[in-house]
Chains A and B, each alone.
Chain A
Amino acid sequence: MIPHSTTHHTLPGLRNALRRLAHQLRLPVELRARLALAVSQVAAGELGAGRAVSLHACRETDPDTGRPVLAIRLRTPLAPRPPALRNLPLPAERTPGAAALWRLPPPDQEQNDVHVQTPTVADNGRGPDVADLLEEELRAAVARADALAQDRERLKDELAETNSGVLALYVQLDERDEQLRRAHGQMLRELEDALRPAPVRVPGLEMAVHYEPAGTDAPTGGDLYDWFLLPDGRVHITLVDALGHGVTSTRSALNVTHAVRTLALEGHPMDSIVERTDEILLPFDRELMATVLLARINPRSGALKLANGSHPPALLVRENGEAEYLEVRGRGIGYPLPGSEQVLYDQLAPGDLLVLYTDGLTESRRDPREGEQRLLEAARRHRHLPIEKIPGAIAADMHTVILHPDDTVALTVRRTHEDVS
């Protein structure tokens, strides 16, 4: 009953009184346990030293909130200095009138809270057995520990689920990313295919081309080719290698092939097409630099004419295996002194193979001299294959080791054995 005031000389005495009082006041079991532990902790030092303490309980009004509270005070009047209040299971306040003060919600209000365990130990008239009270408190503490452990398991499971959810999301996003990249590359390749004309169909000649941009990240490059039939029946072939990589260099290469095509179809003399192309294009693009090789072949006679601007030399492989590079001096678009210095004349006999290419074919091992020798051997080795297989076969041989990746074009023309009539 409150108000309560007792003096104690022993710790068991204090504990029992407090527990019985708390039970009487119908304090929730866990609160009782914490209060008892806290009071014991504060008083233990005093009682152990043989100094008495006193326990008080009464109803008060909280000065801060104006609400009724149950005030539990522990007084240690004989203590040389106030006992420590650190790390208590139930925090306490230090006040002028007491070593420790606990302000608790009045028990009547707590009974509305369904989560609070109200004491169930029976009162046999003399007061409950303290051992029963302790057991009740222990049971409550154990139940709380169990509940917390269950919670923890549940949270762990939820976390694991969330984690795998996030992971799945990442995988999805990654896949979507990859799909977009592939679609993008596909689109660029289709665009590039649209830029490249089909081989010219003309009796007396057969031709094929292998085109390989430098990498999948750059599906278009600065290497380009063009071939078409001139009004006089000859076949014109252009090979272009524009500086740089990516779509900008493709555009440069396109500008060159278009200018050359227009000039050729208009009948412009072959020996000045390179120079004239430079004159036309540089005002629009001062940074443009491109090598260009022009070839003209008469399908009936096999007569071959070459003009060149800084491009690697064409390779002529005779049917019997003799091979030579056809050097034509000159400088390309955007170079100093642009234009072909000369025009070279030669002859394709039936079965002879002409190979035109860009330096990506011969410089994969970084030494152009060694590349030229290997190209000659590869072309010679494959010269009897069906025409559509030759460029790929040559490129495969040349690219067994790639130390320097670059756009690559290999274009082959062979004079056929068929009777031309």
Chain B
Amino acid sequence: MSRDRGLDNELTVDVTEGPAGVVLAIGGDLDFDNSPELRSVIGRLALSPGRLLVLDLSGLTFFDSSGITMLVIARKVALAAGADVAVSGVGPMVAKIFHITGLDMVFRSYPDPSAAFAAAAQN
């Protein structure tokens, strides 16, 4: 697939707000050059105590240390607002990076956003 072979894929950021929280879907390539766009989106999310931020990474084709930083920042923003955070749609490449960086110990991971919200509702 040409997407996997490393041609540049534009970053896509989609915010879906719902009753239980926010889904931030990040797709394409996330690297140092375009991470400021994502950062400004994160700063404007509607998070508050009891809500859940789900970072949906199913569309990610590439991310490096800047991408890691964005996830860590999103988590800080959520926790500072009293909200919870989880990731979903972690594919093999992202899983590998999570494993290397030890972030698999930090983020709860689900197959998709609805599973994340379901788990949160049970608590």
Contact = CB atoms under 8 A, between A and B. Distances in A.
Interface of A: 241, 243-245, 289, 291, 309-313, 329-332, 334-337, 341, 359, 363, 365-369, 403-404, 406
Interface of B: 4, 6, 31-32, 62, 64-66, 68-69, 72, 75, 92-93, 96-97, 100-103, 105-106
B32 A289 contact: no
Query: Main SS of chain B's interface residues?
Result: helix
Contact of A403 (B6, B66, B69, B72): B6
A312 B64 contact: no
Contacts of A404: 6, 31, 62, 64
A337 B105 contact: yes
A241 B64 CA distance: 12
A291 B97 CA distance: 13
A363 B67 CA distance: 14
Given A312-B100, A335-B72, A369-B92, A363 B64 contact: yes
A86 B65 CA distance: 79
Given A244-B32, A368-B96, A330 B102 contact: yes
Contacts of A291: 65, 101
A181 B101 CA distance: 37
Contacts of B68: 289, 310
Nearest to A336: B106
A112 B105 CA distance: 104
- Interface SS majority for chain A: loop
Nearest to A406: B64
Given A289-B69, A335-B102, A359-B65, A369 B96 contact: yes
A81 B20 CA distance: 94
20 contacts: A241-B65, A243-B65, A291-B65, A310-B68, A310-B101, A310-B102, A311-B100, A330-B102, A331-B103, A332-B102, A334-B72, A335-B72, A335-B103, A335-B106, A336-B72, A336-B103, A341-B105, A367-B93, A368-B93, A368-B100
A168 to B, nearest CB: 38
Contacts of A369: 92-93, 96
B31 A243 contact: no
A107 B31 CA distance: 86
A332 B64 CA distance: 15
A311 B102 CA distance: 9
A26 B72 CA distance: 99
A281 to B, nearest CB: 16
B117 to A, nearest CB: 22
Contacts of A367: 4, 6, 93
A366 B31 CA distance: 11
A146 to B, nearest CB: 65
Contacts of B4: 367
A329 B75 CA distance: 20
B29 to A, nearest CB: 8
Contacts of B106: 331, 335-337
A319 to B, nearest CB: 27
A330 B106 CA distance: 10
Contacts of B103: 310, 331, 335-336
